[in-house]
Structure 1
Amino acid sequence: MTDYLVFRLYAPLASWGEAAVGESRPTATYPGRSAIIGLLGAALGVHRDDDEEQRRLSDSVGIAIKQRSPGSLLRDYHTVQVPASQSKVTYRTRRDELSAPRKVINTILSSRDYRCDGLWTVAIWLTPQAELTLEDLERALQTPYFPLYLGRKACPPAAPLAPRLEAFVQLRDALDASFPPLCGKDQEEERRALRLPENALYAWEGKADSLDGYDQGVESSEVWDVPLNRRRWQFGPRAEFRRIVRAREDG
């Protein structure tokens, strides 16, 4: 038996950032390690520029995700006006930028992607070098220090995270833990209302068979979502394992 902290994430809008090039800001279908560490850090009250506490948190936990629904894709088109860079000219506020002569104003076009009505279960466990406890994290998620959001500040959770600490035989058992329905009277009504797919995606770190003792049907890849420096937005690689399976009736 292993102790896990399990909680869920649901919101009308979520954005799980991926590598961004140029004007496009894409989103993954489920949260990566950086997103979950950021959420836990906000709950604990860890500031982004506190490198030591960020390291302490990241080194303390392992993370796995069950994607019950990726939600639907929404692309938000942006136009932003900014003044061109000029020597000896400093813009200290947004008001100063917009007060610049029209001839030096440039328009930047960009797009930002979101996932609409996505639903995810997250399981956290402690690493051998952990300097935190699951009880600390559970309390933080119940009464977060900073407001929580799912990727961007415009994406607050729309349902309680309902964190709970429990022992499970396998990681998959933790990810399949049931929660009170978000809508309707039971899991079946919730599935119909949210249009949950028949298949669920599991993503985890560790070993190929860490999910349930089997490595059949498991794919893996190197993902760059290990936070190294929050201020500089630097990330390192890790191995991530994934499997798609038919959703359990109790999931």
Structure 2
Amino acid sequence: MPRHLLLRLEAPLMAFGRETIDNFGIIRDFPALSMITGLLANALGWRREETGKHDRLQERLVLGARLERPGTRLQDNQNARLSKDDKGWTTKGKPEERAGGAGTYESPHRRFRDYHADLSMLVALRLEPTDEPPTLDDLIAALDHPARPLFIGRKPCLPSRRLFAGWHEGESVSHVLRSVPLPNDSPEGARLQWPDGEGTLPGDRALDLCDERNWTSGVHGGWRPIREGRIRAEEESA
């Protein structure tokens, strides 16, 4: 059976980002395919300009996630007073200027960012094909000795524990997520999300998800089919 790599995502704050609406940075319940791609690429030391590497890694990833402890959500309100000649720093490599007339400089530069607090997520993934570099073993080496500091979603979200959580063999991603024992603090079970075609669960539902990034243009587009379901502690399969 295929070998799957397990990641444990835990941090005081995490952000599984989704589509930004105006100045609101909202989050989703599960990590996007693009977010895991970026996390692994950062550990490998790849630069943003190496878009071909990012696109190929994203194409090869087959992953699912299990939300074991949902935690709580909180919103950070960021305010900065910017005058006419001031500019806001961005990760795009271009400064962000204020738009509008002179009156806009009387109000603050505002951003709202949502976060998960005290959440615990298990991720199961494999690469197809398995022998193309980077391999799963290359990813483990990079995660344990990353080229740069790692973060889960946004730069302030530093992991609170080792990301590598072991190996597990399974016929599909959903099989792995079902068969890994649940922690003791998840007596009510867990929610699962996995790619369509990687198994089914009684009562699960099929959805279309937009979480793949075009690393050249820097935007998300297209939809991929996924499934979501729930397991309880007594329903875990060996």
TM-score band by shorter chain is: 0.7 to 0.9
Deviation at 1:174, TM superposition (A): 2.6
- The structure in which a higher percent of residues are strand is 1
Call closer, same or farther: CA 1:57–1:16 in 2, change over 3 Å: same
Deviation at 1:47, TM superposition (A): 1.2
Deviation at 1:48, TM superposition (A): 1.5
Normalised by the size of structure 1, how large is the TM-score?
0.78
Call closer, same or farther: CA 1:197–1:75 in 2, change over 3 Å: farther
Which one has the largest radius of gyration?
Answer: 1
User: Structure 2 residue aligned with 1:177, among 180, 183, 186?
Assistant: 180
SS at match of 1:21: coil
Q: Following superposition of structure 1 onto structure 2, how do residues 14-33 of structure 1 map, counting pairs within 5 Å?
A: 14-33=14-33
Number of equivalent positions: 225
Whether contact under 8 Å (2:64, 2:174) holds in the other structure is no
CA RMSD between the two structures: 3.0
User: Structure 1 residue aligned with 2:227, among 222, 241, 244?
Assistant: 241
Name the counterpart of 1:111: 112
Name the counterpart of 2:218: 232
Call closer, same or farther: CA 1:49–1:250 in 2, change over 3 Å: same
Call closer, same or farther: CA 1:111–1:130 in 2, change over 3 Å: farther
Percent identity between the two aligned chains: 27
Query: How far apart, CA to CA, are the structure 2 residues paired with 1:244 and 1:69?
Result: 13
Query: How far apart, CA to CA, are the structure 2 residues paired with 1:218 and 1:177?
Result: 19
Moved more, 240-249 or 154-163: 240-249
Deviation at 1:130, TM superposition (A): 6.8
Query: How far apart, CA to CA, are the structure 1 residues paired with 2:109 and 2:28?
Result: 24
Query: How far apart, CA to CA, are the structure 2 residues paired with 1:70 and 1:21?
Result: 23
Name the counterpart of 1:184: none
User: Structure 1 residue aligned with 2:159, among 132, 157, 160?
Assistant: 157
SS at match of 2:222: strand
Q: Does 2:217 correspond to 1:216?
A: no
Q: Identify unmatched segments of 5+ residues in structure 2.
A: 91-96
Whether contact under 8 Å (2:196, 2:206) holds in the other structure is no
